[in-house]
Amino acid sequence: MSLLRRVLLLLFVACLGQAPVHAQQRGPLVLAAASLQEALTEVADVWAAKRHPRPVLSFAGSSALARQIEAGAPADLFISADEEWMDHVAGKGLIWPNSRVSFLSNRLVLIAPVVSTTRLVIGRGFSLARSLGTGRLAMADPYSVPAGKYGKAALTSLGVWSSVEPMITRSENVRAALALVERGEAPFGIVYSTDARASTRVRVVGVFPVNSHPLITYPIAALHSSTNPEAEAFRRFLISREGGVIFARRGFTTR
């Protein structure tokens, strides 16, 4: 072997010895509520720009994510859109209790396609059923998905749930409900204000009163299955002031 080839080989081996420290290290796997897509993606980008391995993000309805965790999904962090599904996984002994923090809040809104001219004032006994006509109300499953449960609570407290329940199209998560309204397949939908803000194809018809439903909260916790050394540092970054600024810019309220 020539001297030049030996030198090149030694350099190549030296590079291989140094590369795995960062290049082969996987970022933490985060299971997060669907409504966090844009905000959490931006936070992950900022974290990666600080020379950390980029977190792997998986979005779905909190109920679906909780069931994945219960089934043994090898994730590191869980962010739910309500306390109940975090309570569920906590009750199974699947989180580190001391890592649990409720760090975000949101608002619930009624949306319509951006081309719609329908006006409604949300209040006790408001005419949602009449405005729907033969159309459908898009919302996340009101019996399992947080956005749907908040929506059901709001409609019930305002006295209109029984009149609109037969008109509901149940979606697997809040973003699926948003998509139905975006495509004009439903004249109205109930989503979080941050979902409406993330879309140019819907407009907010009205905001549900805060006291018409339980407070919307997003708890985060580290999972017992976590083995990623970056997970705790990223969890702390998410609940930090710097992380909070990003979430607030996306329309969330930090707690």
Q: What is the rounded CA–CA span in Å between residue 83 and residue 80?
A: 7
Same fold, 24-105+217-254 and 108-212: yes
What would the pLDDT profile of 175-226 be if each residue is shown by its tens digit? Answer: 999 999 999 999 999 999 999 999 999 999 999 999 999 999 999 999 999 9
pLDDT on residue 7: 36
Alpha-carbon separation of residue 19 from 9, 23, 48, 50, 227 (angstroms) = 15, 6, 17, 17, 21
pLDDT on residue 8: 34
Domain 108-212 CATH (choose: 3.40.50.2300, 3.40.1350.10, 3.40.190.10, 3.40.50.720):
3.40.190.10
In the chain, the percentage of residues whose pLDDT exceeds 70 is 91
24-105+217-254: CATH superfamily: Periplasmic binding protein-like II (3.40.190.10)
What would the pLDDT profile of 64-99 be if each residue is shown by its tens digit? Answer: 999 999 999 999 999 999 999 999 999 999 999 999
Parse the chain into domains and list their residue ranges: 24-105+217-254, 108-212
pLDDT on residue 61: 97
Q: For the whole prediction, is pTM greater than 0.85?
A: yes
